[in-house]
Amino acid sequence: MGRLTFLKFVNDQLWKVDPVEQLDLTGKTVVVVGANVGLGFEAAKHFASMNPNRLVLGCRSQDKGQAAVQAIQATGFTNVELALVDLSQFASVSAFADTFIRDGSQIDILLYNAGVALHQYAPTKDGWEETIQVNHLSATLLTVLLLPCLLKAASSGTSPNPRVVIVSSDVHYWAKLSKEEFESDKVLSKLSDKEYCTSQIMADRYNLSKLLNVFFVRELTKKLPANSPVIVTAVNPGYCKSQLGRNLSFTMRIISVIFGALLARTTEQGSRQLVWAAVGGAGREFELRGAYVSKADLQEVSDYVLSDEGASPNTYMGAS
């Protein structure tokens, strides 16, 4: 069954990371959202080495995004461009998607890597709790909006199975909806209620957002036609050194640094899992639909996801 004990977590972290998967991406378009630092940037560099026709870096900051573009261009790959997107604003996500739709662009690989880990309630301009919007709702919105571009890649013949990869985490094994959340009429609205989002609730918010990613990948796969060429997967990069903990308290940052020094993978090592989910598993395309990828293979999701409650339409659909 899908359980993650602390001992298994440590064992997984000590697993020898396989070399990065390679695939000729000539003629293909790759979009990496959250690409200016960390896992997304390292994954983008790997994609650049595979010679895509177009590599688009989706970033919030013009300066940081342009620096990432220049760093990739310095490797000798020039078909890289920057597209700005603020994932805490649905209007920005829609505008980002519109640039591809208006141009009639095809997308062969969409990698949604962006994420935040907040431990205090912070609302977005759209009125949602920020972790929920950035980590989950914007991933959902962007994926749905860009489905026509992914389908175009399939119909044009550049990719028989275009892929959407959403970065989740093995912390989803440690998350579940509370009784109060599950029984609410609208789950996500409950999770964005300022009065409800106490410090105790927010302490588990990142884990829960990664659980919602898994729910979304599985639910979207169910909703797509059985013969749909689009493959949607969730991936676990493992615990990696990154800037994700920049919003932690001072004490938690110290603990994170010590713990990271002992067990954390480098961001480059973690990015190899993202790349495997995007281009690996040849011959296993059917199995990859709605799958959870970790350690360069398909893994079982948490017991909670497989439970009657986890499979309930209210768990995901009631949130919308």
Q: Indicate which residues carry an active-site annotation.
A: 169, 206, 210
> H helices of the chain, where?
6-13, 38-48, 62-73, 90-102, 130-132, 138-156, 179-182, 187-191, 199-202, 205-223, 250-263, 267-279, 285-288, 303-306, 308-311, 313-316
With H, G, I as helix, E, B as strand and everything else as coil, classify residue 275.
helix
What's the rounded Cα separation, in Å, for the pair 110 and 113?
Answer: 10
Q: Is 241 left (phi over 0), alpha (psi -120 to 50) or beta?
A: beta
Cα dihedral: 128, 134, 140, 146 (round 10): 120
Beta 54-59 vs 80-84: how paired, if at all? parallel
Q: Identify the residue whose tokens are 């979009």.
A: 31
Cβ atoms within 10 Å, residue 201 = 17
Beta 163-167 vs 80-84: how paired, if at all? unpaired
Whole-angstrom distance between the N-terminal and C-terminal Cα of the chain? 29
